[in-house]
Structure 1
Amino acid sequence: MLRIGSVVLGVSDVPRAAAFWMEALGYVPRDDAEDDWVVLVPAEGSGPQLSLGLSETPVQERPRVHLNLYAGDAADQAAEVERLVSLGAGRVDWDHCPDDADFIVLADPDGNRFCVIDTGRG
């Protein structure tokens, strides 16, 4: 049986991206980080790995794959969005977002888009 071992993001600055995602998720490097590659793992417990690899390809405005980060409810979502923005994430004004969306679209410092989901809506 296969399982997902790692989600990989292409980034233009691996150390900067690693610093952002470690603070955002509470992750640590699995091994010694390199200038062009690092695998991040949960500091406590198990969970999906996040691998960051040096990439020269441009960021996609509407990526086919992205991360969804789950928040407990609307208040948690708002607090997490503000925390992530303070770490260097940017808000994305996405015109495809429905009026009643349970998600907020952000971009990491490299421009990779991700969503923060309010899971309290049921």
Structure 2
Amino acid sequence: MVRIGTVVLNVGNARRATKFWTEALGYKVHDGVVGDETPVLVPEEGNGQAIALDETDRTHLDLHVTGEAEQRSEVERLISLGARRVAWDYPPDADFVVLADPEGNLFCVVNTAGR
């Protein structure tokens, strides 16, 4: 079953947003969760929702799964519930699939097995 792994917020200034959200929520910067240069914030005390701050991407959810088979299964399950595949320019080593919910909101199903 998919779970919300990261909430990705579109921001105009990642440095300013990082300062605000770390202080507002008591979060700290943690790299490696998303695997790119986007700042990823996590709670100081451990468990909680990760937040990625991205200047180039839309606000969306990253739903995490733990393997390729689970990713394929969940993508098909979500499509059967009304999601649709979105045409996307994927990098060669993409570990994510971009879908849209019935309202058109984008989200990703991310295979975290290689992280």
The answer for unaligned runs of 5 or more in structure 2 is 1-22, 27-46, 50-55
Look up the match of 1:112. 105
Aligned residue pairs, count: 67
Q: In structure 2, give the amino acid aligned to 1:2.
A: A
CA–CA distance in structure 2, aligned partners of residues 63 and 118 of structure 1: 19
> After TM superposition, which residue ranges in structure 1, 4 or more long, deviate above 2 angstroms?
1-4
Aligned residues with identical type, % of pairs: 54
Q: Secondary structure at the match of 1:2?
A: helix
Q: Deviations over 1:53-94 (max 9, x none)?
A: xxxxxxxxx852111000011111111101100000000111
CA–CA distance in structure 2, aligned partners of residues 113 and 101 of structure 1: 16
CA–CA distance in structure 2, aligned partners of residues 121 and 74 of structure 1: 10
CA RMSD of aligned residues (A): 2.3
Question: Normalising by structure 2, what TM-score?
Answer: 0.51
Report the Cα offset of residue 121 of structure 1.
Answer: 1.3
CA contact (8 A) 1:63 1:113 kept: no
Look up the match of 1:82. 76
**Residue 72 (1) aligns with residue 66 (2):** yes
CA–CA distance in structure 2, aligned partners of residues 100 and 79 of structure 1: 19
Report the Cα offset of residue 47 of structure 1.
Answer: 6.4
Question: Normalising by structure 1, what TM-score?
Answer: 0.48
The answer for unaligned runs of 5 or more in structure 1 is 5-45, 49-61
Look up the match of 2:33. none
